[in-house]
Amino acid sequence: MKNIDAHGHVRGESLYLDDIPIREGTLHGKVIGSPIAHGRIRKFDLTEVRKQPGVWAVITAENVPGENQIGGILPDEPLFAEEEVHFQGQPMALILAETEAQAHAAAHHVRLEIDPLPVVTDPREARAKGMLIIPPRTFQLGDTSSQWEQCAHIITGQADSAGQEHLYIEAQGAYAYMAEKGHVRVHSSTQGPTAVQKTVAKVLGMPMHMIEVDVTRLGGGFGGKEDQATPWAVMAALAAKVLNKPIKLVLHRMDDMRMTGKRHPYSSDFKIGLTDDLKILAYEVVFHQDAGAAADLSPAVMERTLFHCTNSYFIPHVKATAYSCRTHVPPNTAFRGFGGPQGMFVLEAAIAKAAETLALSPALIQRRNLLADGQEFPYGQKTEGCLAQATWDSLEAQAKGEHLRQEIASFNQDPNARCKKGLAMMPVCFGISFTKTHMNQASALVHIYHDGSVGLSTGAVEMGQGVNTKMLQVAVRCLGVHPDDVKLETTNTTRVANTSPTAASAGADLNGKAAEMACNLLAERLLEHAAIELDCSPGDLELRDRQVLKSGEATSMSWQDLVLSAFLNRIQLSQHAFYRTPGIHFDTEKEKGHPFAYHVYGTAVTIAKIDVLLGTYEIEAVHLVHDCGKSMNPTIDLGQIEGGLVQGIGWMTMEELVYNPDGRLASNALSTYKVPDIYAAPKEITVHFLNAPGSPHAIFKSKAVGEPPLMYGIGAYFAIRDAILQAKPGRTFPFSAPMTPEKVLIALHGDQAQSAEEAISTQGSSSA
Ligand code: MTE
Ligand code: LUZ
Ligand code: MOS
């Protein structure tokens, strides 16, 4: 079945926040952000701003009736700065004007004096200064210290990965207005409607039932709207209440880029020990997470880094410690993979460095240490239905691994060739469930109207990932109706309450299971009624293709007949259902438990070609085998795999987020921040779905697919690295992602570049 949004998207008919017709009298907002990264506010004079044409008001912390506090995990983030600012772009006030242009123009008239304070943008420096968001955490398996003596090879090193801009096509925004009796209605481009509701209530000093949040769909979220859609919705709601006017607030792209947090940069140290036959005996790692200026979701992201620090490998002795470091950049946040990719990158770097030291292929170490069934993760959970080796071996067969390697070797043999090729394998193992156990709950509400049509509400937010299509498929399958019979309602806090954000790749599983329960209860009730009408037992009946079937044969009763008859017999045609993932738990004292419902596995092989003169590169091909379980929608899942892969490649190769030492985002527009386009995507992508049993905790055994494929992109980094080493065997250069063409060039010719620079400076023209 195609994505139910496909036609609407292509024809421009799908509705986003910006398509909501605005009410008469709507005012438009513009956020005033701090011009510097850290300082004490001495003077903040808005007199001139208030006099500008069209300006109705400027709202600041003084207008907040409840708490000026939006921190989700820790209360460390004011909605509007009060005495100090902690990052460049930190919201200080909201201008409201009749038009957007007027609001933006008025922002130039702020008179602001801030006494600068020292700026920290390096997480290691933050750690050294004791600037931590939470105390460090350590996950441990076995005892690493007892193992180093047994190791034939011990390799240590550092691996750094940079941040990543979400670049959802639809920027952050919200539309808020007052309903009767002081109620507030908010349309928000958020992955977390309940988080918006809760925070609006807190800031406005109102109970949650006075706040209604509605979401039609997002033009992309990627984690960037799990928590960070909230401030803009809260500002709009606050202004709506203070001014009693409808308020629209949509960030311009450059404001969005500089004011919102991104994927966390990490700087990490590793120590890995191997036996002579390449078994990894021990692994120690210390992660420094750049959390930015406030906690946001950083503690949870840090936790997932620890969960995934051994990726698809079994390592008997592990000690992993993570520090969440407070710096003066915008609070970093959820981004597809949620700290998992950062953790996996470090281990892949450690394996690559070990392989380089021993002058052998990293694939030998990788394959030798892949997880098998019944083995323990550092967090205590054991693998069940482990497919790490199965996906690897299947990929070797499908992609003709040996043949590929031979082809590359013969290509690389030409000593005069300008290009070299490299190859990297990338296995992935990702845990499915929110790591906070209590978040693994969801509800659904199903109405069957008495004409037989169906309205379905869940807590899931559609952001392009196709969750609405999957929800519709659940209803269609359980009720035996046609896709045209089911309408996916907007995600609304008055219909489905206390929702977790649509995140952790768990949206389809959690909400799908709730929808399945509700639909099955309705089907059961309807069949009981049909059994009376048809004078048989309900066990003989089923619903399929808009018909009531008896022992597999069509009866005279259609779906519509049945529904109408049930209605006339006063049988309940609406159903709510609640689902919670069974069997999961985690003890943060012991750092042990069973946090995940199941794991998703896969393996990719990436082939990169570099231009040895220019440092430019192409990703020639990615072939991968992925475990979707029993995919309920292969078209959507394929799209998620390809999209995740390319987003991961972008993070690892070309997306270079640069903050100046003064904490200002230098790459603050699409002219300076490059994301993969069709030319940067791999020339060839082949995806094989592993024939796998799925998991009973996955909806219809169709495993979660949203995040895991992003981590295949890590393979691009190591394929490029391999190509560099093919050109210049034995070279050493840092593990520092992204691997931009500049870095490739320096890795290839760094010494020449340096001597050229020295030559220039001795000629007295160093400024050149
Ligand atoms: N796909 C699209 N097109 N747009 C998105 O914003 N977000 C990703 C992934 N795929 C995203 C996407 C992220 S970060 C997550 S957690 C999952 O979708 C969330 O949806 P799911 O739980 O329904 O898989
Ligand atoms: N969000 C969250 C997530 O709050 N908890 C998680 O475990 C998680 N995992 C992935 C993505 N978002
Ligand atoms: Mo995704 S990072 O869980 O929104």
Span 266-272, average pLDDT = 98
pLDDT at 104: 98
462 lines ligand 3 (CB under 6 A): no
pLDDT digits (tens, 9 = 90+) for 490-516: 999 999 999 999 999 999 999 999 999
Centre of ligand 1 from the C-alpha of residue 219, in Å: 11
Residue list, ligand 1 pocket, CB within 6 Å: 220-223, 336, 463-465, 467, 502-508, 640, 643, 704, 706-707
Alpha-carbon distance of 496 to 493, in angstroms, equals 5
Alpha-carbon distance of 240 to 232, in angstroms, equals 12
Centre of ligand 3 from the C-alpha of residue 709, in Å: 13
434 lines ligand 2 (CB under 6 A): yes
175 lines ligand 2 (CB under 6 A): no
308 lines ligand 2 (CB under 6 A): no
For the chain, the average pLDDT equals 97
| pLDDT of 757 above 70 | no
pLDDT digits (tens, 9 = 90+) for 371-401: 999 999 999 999 999 999 999 999 999 999 9
What's the chain's Rg over C-alpha atoms? 28
| pLDDT of 666 above 50 | yes
Q: Which of 83, 528, 707, 757 is flagged as catalytic?
A: 707
| Residue 102 confidence class, pLDDT cut points 50, 70, 90 | very high
Q: What is the DSSP string of 672-728?
A: TS----TTTS-SEEEEEE------TTSGGGB---SSGGGGGGHHHHHHHHHHHHHHS
| Residue 618 confidence class, pLDDT cut points 50, 70, 90 | very high
Q: Which of 508, 320, 280, 571 is closest to 500 using CA atoms?
A: 508
185 lines ligand 3 (CB under 6 A): no
At 570 the three-state DSSP class reads: coil
| Residue 416 confidence class, pLDDT cut points 50, 70, 90 | confident
Q: Do 293 and 351 touch, CB atoms closer than 8 A?
A: no
| Residue 415 confidence class, pLDDT cut points 50, 70, 90 | confident
The CA-atom distances, in angstroms, between 128 and each of 110, 320, 324 are: 36, 19, 12
Centre of ligand 1 from the C-alpha of residue 710, in Å: 11
Q: What is the DSSP string of 222-242?
A: TTTTTSTTHHHHHHHHHHHHH
Alpha-carbon distance of 30 to 100, in angstroms, equals 7
Nearest C-alpha to atom 4 of ligand 3 is from which residue? Answer: 223
Nearest C-alpha to atom 8 of ligand 2 is from which residue? Answer: 504
| pLDDT of 764 above 60 | no
Please tell me whether the overall predicted TM-score, pTM, comes out greater than 0.95 for this model: yes
665 burial (CB, 10 Å; 0-12 / 13-18 / 19+) is buried
Nearest C-alpha to atom 5 of ligand 2 is from which residue? Answer: 434
**Catalytic annotation present for 707:** yes
